[in-house]
Homo-oligomer: A and B are copies of this chain.
Amino acid sequence: MSSYGEHVNPRERRAARHLPTDVRAVEDGEPRSGRRRKPITVDQVVDTALTVVAAEGYEALTMRRVADALQTGPASLYAHVVNKADLDELLIGRLNAEIVLPEPDPASWQQQIRDVCTQMRDQYLRYPGISRAALAAVPTNLDTMRIAEGMLGIVLAGGIPPRTAAWAIDALALYVNAYTLELSMLHRHSADQDDGWMVSRDELLRRFAALPADDFPHTKGHAAELIAGEGHDRFDFTVSLMIGGLAQR
């Protein structure tokens, strides 16, 4: 009968993350108890994982890939991380922790919300495909709730009633996640051009032109508008659309 390590190992630390202490505590960091060579830290695992995602995308993030980068086997990671899902949660926690939240200013609350959304967008795009993990993450994560709290404060300062404010930031966060996920997927698929995955506007226009005119009159007629928008124009449009609809109530 194995009498030790029932289910106490890294799960406790994770539960401790969710509930009690302040955010991002002491950075004790230093190898507290050396084991083989230089001991592995949770932060090391997270750092390595983020490096992998930044370089090769979220799809390339596997336990073995992280373990290889740390010059060890995949089993060693499970002393510091409960799960792959747990690692995912740690990743988005780290990402969300880096979002800076402005002090709510009633005069400029719309721009403040826009800024936070832009921060999240760029942060997620820095690590392509990680939005998949963000969508799956438990919403009671402390770092996630910290952002929600900050955005809630901004919108409330803008004079929006609480229920409306809560639902709006919910929708905004969801849209940011979906937008970045879609964009990452598009970039990823445009990298391998093996199949019919087009990138260029010309190719898109050609596809639209090839559609049957009887069934797709509007799509063909407004093809230019359909594929319009440089950079994050569509993103800005939607965020402003929601904020604008919010303000006018």
Contact with B along A166-210 (1 / 0, CB 8 A): 111011001101110110010001000000111000001001001
Taking a contact as CB atoms closer than 8 A, the residue among B149, B217, B238, B244 that contacts A215 in the complex is: B149
Contact residues of A: prevailing secondary structure: helix
A242 at the interface (CB under 8 A from B): yes
Within 8 A of B (CB), among A132-153: 135-136, 138, 140, 145-146, 148-149, 152-153
Taking a contact as CB atoms closer than 8 A, the residue among B156, B174, B226, B245 that contacts A245 in the complex is: B245
CA–CA, A18 and B207, complex, Å: 10
A69 at the interface (CB under 8 A from B): no
Do B149 and A216 touch across chains, with their CB atoms under 8 A apart? Answer: yes
Do A218 and B152 touch across chains, with their CB atoms under 8 A apart? Answer: yes
Q: Given A135-B185, A175-B171, is A166 in contact with B226 using a C-beta cutoff of 8 Å?
A: yes
List B contacts of A182 (CB < 8 A). 135, 174
Q: Given A175-B171, A175-B178, A207-B140, is A156 in contact with B218 using a C-beta cutoff of 8 Å?
A: yes
List B contacts of A246 (CB < 8 A). 241, 245
A235 CB to nearest chain B CB (Å): 9
A222 at the interface (CB under 8 A from B): yes
CA–CA, A222 and B15, complex, Å: 24
Do A171 and B218 touch across chains, with their CB atoms under 8 A apart? Answer: no
Q: Given A149-B219, A178-B178, A222-B152, is A171 in contact with B138 using a C-beta cutoff of 8 Å?
A: no
A55 at the interface (CB under 8 A from B): no
Do B18 and A171 touch across chains, with their CB atoms under 8 A apart? Answer: no
Do A138 and B237 touch across chains, with their CB atoms under 8 A apart? Answer: no
A153 CB to nearest chain B CB (Å): 5
Do B185 and A178 touch across chains, with their CB atoms under 8 A apart? Answer: no
A19 at the interface (CB under 8 A from B): yes
A183 CB to nearest chain B CB (Å): 10
Contact with B along A202-236 (1 / 0, CB 8 A): 00100100111001111100100110110000100
- Report the nearest B residue to A226, measured CB to CB: B166
A79 CB to nearest chain B CB (Å): 19
A218 CB to nearest chain B CB (Å): 4
User: What are 21 residue pairs bridging A and B, where the CB atoms are less than 8 Å apart in the complex?
Assistant: A18-B196, A135-B182, A138-B196, A148-B219, A149-B215, A149-B219, A152-B219, A152-B226, A165-B222, A165-B225, A167-B234, A168-B241, A171-B234, A171-B241, A174-B178, A174-B179, A174-B182, A178-B178, A241-B245, A242-B245, A245-B248
